[in-house]
A = this chain, B = another copy of it.
Amino acid sequence: MLKIVILGTGNLAKHLHDAFTKAKNVNVVQVVGRNTQALHQFCDKSEVTDNFKAIVDADVYIIAVKDDVIGKVSKFVANKKGVVAHTSGAMPMAVVHSTKKGVFYPLQTFTKGKVVDFSTIPICIEASDTESLKVLELLARSISENVHPIDSEQRKKLHLAAVFVNNFTNYLYGVAEEICLQEGLSFNLLKPLILETAEKIKTMPPKKAQTGPARRNDRQSMQGHLGLLKNEKHITLYKLLSRAIIQAHEEEL
């Protein structure tokens, strides 16, 4: 039985707590956070405290707080015997103050209130030593079948790639919604297309799946589209993305 403490009470802390409390070989012995209000949601399954000096002993301390306070929070458990791991995609393992440290990064976007199936979520782990890595792997495997040892340098790149497929893609969804609303059209019309575009990557590499006016270098259609756009930012974006698609295709020929 792995005893773990979660430090943090936000969205990720909640999702991890939900997953760990369902896992067979994990016992979330404590949740620690400053926000006493937020601590309430954990108290039926775990002991909770807002006193960072009252943290109990555990095999793993999972730090699920904002990137810029990971170092600070880790100091409260720096002298504990357990492995101290943060959960950030962007931060190096080194920000953790502890001898036995690591990273436990679930590569997914978490929505408040939406239940997540952790079993398929890639969990990227890293540790300061072999033994700690084994502990983190055991913990990761308790909730996911998709566990990968990934070092800090790789994780930074992965996080960057994630920004493209998550943050930037979502921004494009927003642009499309704006175009629809301006025309009195429901954004619902685009939802099946959005889902199918994402589904496609399961069976086809993105470069092979590329279609559209830019992929065909269909200048007339692209000019037509540019004439319809009113927002200067959207025009620049349309041009840049179209040029990139045209070039990427030319490079492949």
Q: Are the CB atoms of A168 and B241 closer together than 8 Å?
A: yes
The distance from the CB of A250 to the nearest CB of chain B, in whole angstroms, is: 12
State the number of copies, please.
2
- Interface presence of A35 (CB below 8 A): no
Q: Which of B175, B183, B200 contacts A157 (CB 8 A)?
A: B183
Q: Are the CB atoms of B211 and A154 closer together than 8 Å?
A: no
Q: Are the CB atoms of B215 and A167 closer together than 8 Å?
A: yes
Expressed in whole angstroms, the Cα–Cα distance for A247 and B236 within the complex equals: 14
Report the contact-size class of chain A (Cβ under 8 Å from the partner).
35 or more
Chain A 224-253 interface residues, beta-carbon cutoff 8 Å to B: 224-225, 228-229, 233, 236-238, 240-241, 244-245, 247-248
Contacts A90-B224, A114-B203, A206-B170; is A108 near B192 (CB within 8 Å)?
A: yes
The A interface, classified by DSSP as helix, strand, loop or mixed, is helix
Contacts A160-B225, A165-B194; is A211 near B109 (CB within 8 Å)?
A: yes
- Interface presence of A80 (CB below 8 A): no
29 intermolecular pairs with C-beta atoms under 8 Å apart? A67-B221, A90-B213, A124-B189, A154-B183, A154-B185, A156-B224, A157-B183, A158-B180, A162-B190, A162-B193, A163-B238, A164-B175, A164-B179, A165-B190, A166-B212, A167-B211, A167-B214, A169-B169, A170-B200, A170-B209, A171-B206, A171-B244, A172-B172, A173-B201, A173-B206, A194-B198, A194-B201, A236-B240, A237-B244
